[in-house]
Structure 1
């Protein structure tokens, strides 16, 4: 199938749709964690992954890529990526049960910042002082978001459940960043469709392995919500993948921060969780740092293109 014609507006729309779908999915995960349902994170990972697989397969059939989309030359690469990605998902879901919804989303913004550091450590990528300074600014914002949960807030009295939530959510962001490093290696030889599919398979198996550690028998409503997380996860992944087919990453990526507005609204409306000034200020620093990095990378990319054109006879 031919690559689609570049369409920036379509790419932006698909990115916003993916962010909206993933944010709603996260809200459902939190809803099944809270209250009487009490579904553990491992069980949520299983439903999120297993019911995403049919959606992904239907997408591949529609694109006529089923035969090539599932083939792989690096099965162990997919396994390692699946292990760390599943850890990221499980920790993130656990954090949703322990922290207010907007705070989990804000702490998750640490992930792309950590990718910069991990890429320098494990891939040998050159990180200049400007980009490193922006990463430090973003991580300062994350620390500000975390500070009330670590006993540095106005009361000075730590809530150990929320402290645990802060730690596991940040751990999830670290694992998500490491998963992106694995993806960067895999995309050199593997199709995106294969990476998406085999991750869902791996996380399904790993989620199922948590069955002896306290799964619950959900009622019909909770069961439907759990199935919905998988369907939304698959749809969101398709929207996300398609967004980067139609628009450059430097143009599409900043719209990830639409999730901040959505999470504040959902947290207030569904869970009665008002965003605090500390959280909003810290999140603003993280978003600012991330957008400056994206803008800078775009400028450097344009400069490299001009240099290549100038050298072309």
Structure 2
């Protein structure tokens, strides 16, 4: 593959991670003054409208999902609802960089989940890397210390729900448009949080609050689109490690916007998790080359 495609994929992946982290920053900022469910609901409207426009533009509505695929989309959507609510609730009570550090374990846990659910073969080297990465997560959340609380556990739960969400799409038929899958999740999240809004109550938002919610929704859509484009433009083994730049964005934005910096233990744990993840990706690339 030409190096220009790899470079484009790397830049798109970095842009995707930046967009997702800016979205998180907007959401954390708004939920300090606006009820959580109301904020997610308003952002959900923007995401649903954006995905509907995308589906119409690409002709995605012409496709009909089988009963099996519809069930998998429902499972993915419910997992996405749980992941969204747990993540944003944890984000409301945790520094952005600390929660982002926990999320760095996601590639490792997806590899482990694929082995458990789909019987993917992982050797002792990658299994060791996964265990080392989990030790890194324990260092970040530090159970039994003053820095550990239920919000850290909620962040870990969010990662677990994302693993279920991502693994559930693997058996989907290849011709099913990604826009339909993403739209199903967006509609499910919007529906659930509007119910939550009815229970939690509605607070009239200010113009500045609405502007930040709009910014969150737009950056969320940009993040989704650029992440898909990144994986289609470059060698996955080369592009995927740049997902870890999200932690750098989280540290920078957490300091600039909220004045928070992660402590030494969090940085140590995140470094261990990222190193284990990079080793796993490198090992998978080596095995692919041998197979080829």
Query: So what's the TM-score if we normalise by structure 1?
Result: 0.85
Q: Is the 8 A contact 2:136 2:268 kept in 1?
A: yes
Match of 2:285 among 280, 291, 298: 298
1:135-155 deviations in Å (ceiling 9; x for gaps): 0111111110101xx333xxx
1:143-199 deviations in Å (ceiling 9; x for gaps): 10101xx333xxxxx36xx60110111100111111111022225563322212222
Q: Which residue of 2 aligns with 1:81?
A: 76
**2:122 and 2:287 mapped to 1: Cα distance?**
13
Structure 1: gaps of 5 or more residues: 153-157, 306-313
Q: Is the 8 A contact 1:47 1:229 kept in 2?
A: no
Q: Is the 8 A contact 2:105 2:137 kept in 1?
A: yes
* Aligned residues between the structures: 287
Question: Which stretch of the first structure deviates more once superposed, 238-247 or 178-187?
Answer: 178-187
Cα pair distance change 1:44/1:122, threshold 3 Å = farther
Structure 2: gaps of 5 or more residues: none
**1:61 and 1:247 mapped to 2: Cα distance?**
27
Matches within 5 A, 1:212-251: 212-217=198-203, 218-251=205-238
Q: Is the 8 A contact 2:26 2:216 kept in 1?
A: yes
User: 1:272: Cα distance to partner?
Assistant: 1.0
Matches within 5 A, 1:111-130: 111-130=106-125
Q: Which residue of 1 aligns with 2:10?
A: 12
Cα pair distance change 1:228/1:128, threshold 3 Å = same
Cα pair distance change 1:211/1:289, threshold 3 Å = same
Q: Which residue of 1 aligns with 2:244?
A: 257
User: 1:54: Cα distance to partner?
Assistant: 2.6
Is 1:163 the equivalent of 2:149?
A: yes
User: 1:286: Cα distance to partner?
Assistant: 0.5
User: 1:6: Cα distance to partner?
Assistant: 8.3
**2:209 and 2:27 mapped to 1: Cα distance?**
10
* CA RMSD in angstroms, aligned pairs only: 2.0
**2:128 and 2:230 mapped to 1: Cα distance?**
29
Following TM superposition, the consecutive aligned residue runs of length 4 or more in structure 1 with deviations greater than 4 angstroms are: none
1:22-59 deviations in Å (ceiling 9; x for gaps): 0000011111122xx1422x333323332112323333
Q: Which residue of 1 aligns with 2:263?
A: 276
Match of 1:205 among 188, 191, 205: 191
